[in-house]
Structure 1
Amino acid sequence: MSAPGEPASGKPAPAAKAGIPADTPGPLLHPFARPATPAGSFIRIVSGQGAHVVDDSGRRYVDGLASLWYCAAGHGREKIIEAVAAQLRKLDAFHLFERFTNIPADALAERLAALAPMPHARVFLTTGGSEAVDTAMKLARLAHTVVGEPERTIIISRSPSYHGVTYGGMSLTGLPANRAGFGPGVADIVQVGKDDLDAVAAVMEREPGRVAAVIAEPVIGAGGVHPPHPGYLAGLRDLCDRHGAFLILDEVITGFGRLGSWFGAGHFGVRPDLLTFAKAVTSGYQPLGGVLLGPAVHEPLGRPDVVLRHGGTYSGHPAACAAALANIAVLEDEGLVGRASEVGARLAAGLRSVAATHGLADVRGYGAMWAVDLPSGLDATDIRNRMLSHGVIVRPIGTSTLAFCPPLVIDLADVDLLSAALAAALDVASQAR
């Protein structure tokens, strides 16, 4: 096998993909990309194994962001693949609406309720993180309405933050560029600074009896990887209790082992009322997300006269639930949740070493989720592109931040390669200035 970053065939990647002229855009619109980008500019990933992926020219990369924050169990896991295939052969799909259910959805809900960081949890299943966030918003507002407080519609979110791309998730997201051009968002969203408890308290005092919920990522992810200040999450819990609001923890990235515990809520010792999840629940083998609901939310919804008029066609898809059950078993059986601390400590040490020699503006993170801020004058996308030539994939955030979030199965030698590739890319960039 070729070394990371080297083509197995020794030949360069073809400029054109699938007969499309390399210098013109193809028919596929790529998320978070410029639609005008020529088709020949994209890297076509064709296979993966463990913490590595391979493109169509044979070039091998260390997957330094677990694809998109999700592939905790690594690529090519036969236990997960076989679980999905076996389920598709038995029952390909059937919905959960009204009177219907399926065995994998029931089993997954039971498993998730047992892992939940709140007692007596119930589970609502979706197809991804953005949909999970919208679901949490709706359920929070609905639960208040059912108990006679329909005026509780305000949801407090933070800046920076990332909560998805549906209109609800976009409206909550504290990244102005992600909202630009899409018109009005969902009403009654108030944003405050990411660690400012006083600002949260001020909104609650200014709008007595109107705040439905506060939403926060235990560690901010796509907003730049920002761990919470000590006591901050507990402070949010206290404010919500005092003012009758729900606490929503968005664990789409931090859930299922990324911080060294099943959920960040448990790691930080904070009890949410609602918790959103996706990504590593299946390690990306099937699209699945959902919301864990504590009793303060699901008990009002459980009244005999309440009909929950919310759900998606593929909520509780049996193959997706089978993938989640198999993935959770892999994470548990191989001790990967606990391994996040080892991976993170090694990654942090490497990145801090690069900071000492190359003048990084900041190194921060928690568990196996880290980021660096580049020296002034260097562009994150340019450095990411230079790291690709060294066989490493990371993610630029904004113009100056690079995020690292490798699969939890990654070898420590490959963890070291992440920081070595960063140092090498910075060397070349500095020489080019």
Structure 2
Amino acid sequence: MWHPFADMSAVAGHDFVISSGQGAHVIGADGRRYLDSTAALWYCNVGHGRTEMADAAAAQMNLIASYSSFGDYATQSTLDLADRLAALSGLTDAKVFFTSGGSDAVDTALKMITRYWSLMGEPKRTRIIARERSYHGMHVAGTSLGGIPANREGHGDPDPKVQNVTWDDAEALAAEIDAIGAENVAAFFCEPVIGAGGVYPPPDGYLARVRDICKERGVLLVADEVISGYGRTGSMFASQRWDLQPDLMLTAKGLTSGYLPMGAVLVSGQVAEPFWNTPGLIWRHGYTYSGHATAAAVASVNLDIMEREQLVDRVADLAPVLSAALNPLAAHSHVAAVRTVGLLGAVQLRPDVIKEDPTIGARLVRAAREQGVLTRWLADGGLQVSPPFVITREDLHSMGRAFDEALSAVGSARADSARLQVDLLPDTTTDEAGGFGSSDARLRADVPPHHVA
């Protein structure tokens, strides 16, 4: 097996096999139980081992596994899910275009946007702007769009129609649009919370300013919520938490909690209008598995579980617990910063430490695994944290202790005054940022709370 994002010279013949899972834990082929601190790859929001999801898949397959959604064909499970997502999105007169995953959603949005502007009589609007550190999937267009240079290495020059701007300065976006000419800019792509690029919450006021800049200049705003969507930040969508008001939202991962592959582009009525109301127009785009019936049935049950168990509210309640579990790690000599928002987090190492020992990331991940916690190394040099929403307070603190031991195992010294917080915090605990905490003072921001008590 050729593993994605792997050094095959080291991995080949040494597969770490996962045999089963339950809740926030998985069982390895070695029989050991591990805490899944990343919800696999950011996606298993409702936790592992949900037989209700398997039952939904079997029931749909016993009717019909799937059917093409091209032309006027549809299955009821797909129609029902589309209606539900449109209502959840908060977008005015929303329409839903299904894909096979997040990378497909990005490419779909790119094609939809350029086609939209041509239909609107502005075919020169082909330029796309995104942020440094951003991740927008691994298809050719998304790789060029993303702001992680290592992901483009060896693949030639990025698409010249794409420009990356500083991730934390909204005025850099305004300046770039003005330099290109707003009449040439189609859209700005934005992860409300940067994910694979290092888990960077938006600085205070950034998203509101981005929203206003795009509206003032007539540029479409695309929120890439493949990671942040479906509750990860303590709101159903991060765009709602920060009142981003995007024209399109890109979703996947938590849509099905990874039980089956599926993505969805949630489109405002304004953008959908020329596609829906131009007689004779056929937008020649779609995927074999767009609107897969079984995936749709599983997604609906996934949303049922989230609603029934109030998992979005649970994320909001657990956010300060995650901060309390991770923030003391900032006292380690190797650690540059700790960032958390909702149930997202990163423990970032100092660049000089990584430069001196390029193997430290792999060693740190292995050391955490030896402590019984599964994690992974992020693009900017840190540990990823994005656990299932069903994780307990005790497990969050256990994770913090495991990372503490793992850091020590790779040579990081902990300040004598540092002590991991192990007291369980009451549900009502919030921090000054309305639910996210960070050891990086620049990111401590007065953002809107993600739920109302």
Same fold (TM over 0.5): yes
Corresponding residue to 1:194 among 134, 147, 167: 167
Instruction: State the one-letter code of the partner of 1:414.
Output: D
What's the CA shift string for 1:283-342, capped at 9, x where partnerless?
000000010000221012122232111000000000000110000110111010111122
In the aligned structure 2, how far is the partner of 1:336 from the partner of 1:222? 23
The separation in 2 between residues aligned to 1:358 and 1:188, in whole angstroms, is 42
What's the secondary structure of 2:71's corresponding residue? coil
What corresponds to 2:342 in structure 1?
367
Q: Aligned with 1:313: secondary structure? A: coil
Counterpart residue type for residue 6 of structure 2: A
Residue of structure 2 equivalent to 1:377: 353
Secondary structure of the equivalent of 2:335? coil
Deviation (angstroms), 1:207: 2.2
Q: Can you list the C-alpha shifts for 1:151-189, whole angstroms capped at 9, x where unaligned? A: 000110010110010011101110111011123444410
Matched, 1:392 2:373: yes
Runs of at least 5 residues in structure 1 that lack an aligned partner in the other structure: 1-27
Distance 2:233 2:20 in 1: 27
Q: Distance in 1 between matches of 2:259 and 2:42?
A: 13
Correspondences of 1:294-313 after superposition (within 5 Å) = 294-302=268-276, 303-313=278-288
- State the TM-score, normalizing by the size of structure 2: 0.87
Distance between the aligned counterparts of 2:286 and 2:332, measured in 1?
Answer: 52
Q: Hey, what's the Cα distance between the residues in 2 that align with 1:179 and 1:117?
A: 34
SS of 2:112's equivalent? helix
Task: Return the offset for 1:193.
Answer: 0.5
- Give the 3 Å change call, closer, same or farther, for CA 354–431 of structure 1 in structure 2: closer
1:113 aligns with 2:86: yes
**Mean alpha-carbon deviation: is it higher for 377-386 or for 187-196?**
377-386
**Match runs of 1:85-104 below 5 Å:** 85-104=58-77
Structure 2 counterpart of 1:333, from 308, 314, 325: 308
Deviation at 1:232, TM superposition (A): 1.1
Q: Does the residue aligned with 1:323 lie in a helix, a strand or coil? A: helix
| CA distance in 2 between partners of 1:259 and 1:431 (Å) | 30
What is the CA–CA distance in structure 1 between the aligned matches of 2:410 and 2:173, rounded to whole Å?
42
Residue matched to 1:324: 299
Counterpart residue identity of residue 219, structure 1 = V
Cα RMSD of the aligned pairs, angstroms, is 1.5
| 1:245 aligns with one of 219, 227, 230 | 219
Residues 358 and 426, structure 1, Cα contact 8 Å, conserved in 2: no
Contact kept, 8 Å, 2:96 with 2:266, in 1: the verdict is yes
TM-score (norm 1): 0.91
Distance in 2 (CA, whole Å) between partners of 1:159 and 1:99 is 40
Aligned to 1:80: 53
- Aligned AA (2:353): G
| Structure 1 position 293 matched with structure 2 position 274 | no
Residue 405 in structure 1 maps to residue 386 in structure 2: yes
1:422 Cα deviation (Å)? Answer: 0.6
Question: Cα distance 1:204–1:431, how it changes in 2: closer, same or farther (>3 A)?
Answer: closer
Distance across 1 between alignment mates of 2:412 and 2:163? 45
Equivalent residue number for residue 327 of structure 2: 352
Unaligned runs of 5+ in 2: 355-359, 414-453
Q: Which amino acid aligns with 1:100?
A: Y
TM alignment of 1:31-50, pairs within 5 A: 31-50=4-23
From 241, 246, 256, give the equivalent of 1:282: 256
Matches of 1:294 and 1:48 in 2, distance apart? 37
1:176 pairs with 2:152: no
Aligned mates of 2:81, 2:376 — CA distance in 1: 31
1:155 to 109, 128, 135: 128
Q: Distance in 2 between matches of 1:196 and 1:366?
A: 19
Counterpart position of 1:6? none
Query: C-alpha separation between the residues in 1 aligned to 2:320 and 2:334?
Result: 20
Partner letter of residue 314 of structure 1? Y
1:223 aligns with 2:204: no
Question: 2:7 and 2:306 mapped to 1: Cα distance?
Answer: 36
Check if 1:314 corresponds to 2:295.
Answer: no
**Deviation at residue 405 of structure 1 after TM alignment:** 0.4
- Matched with 1:18 is none
What corresponds to 1:12 in structure 2? none
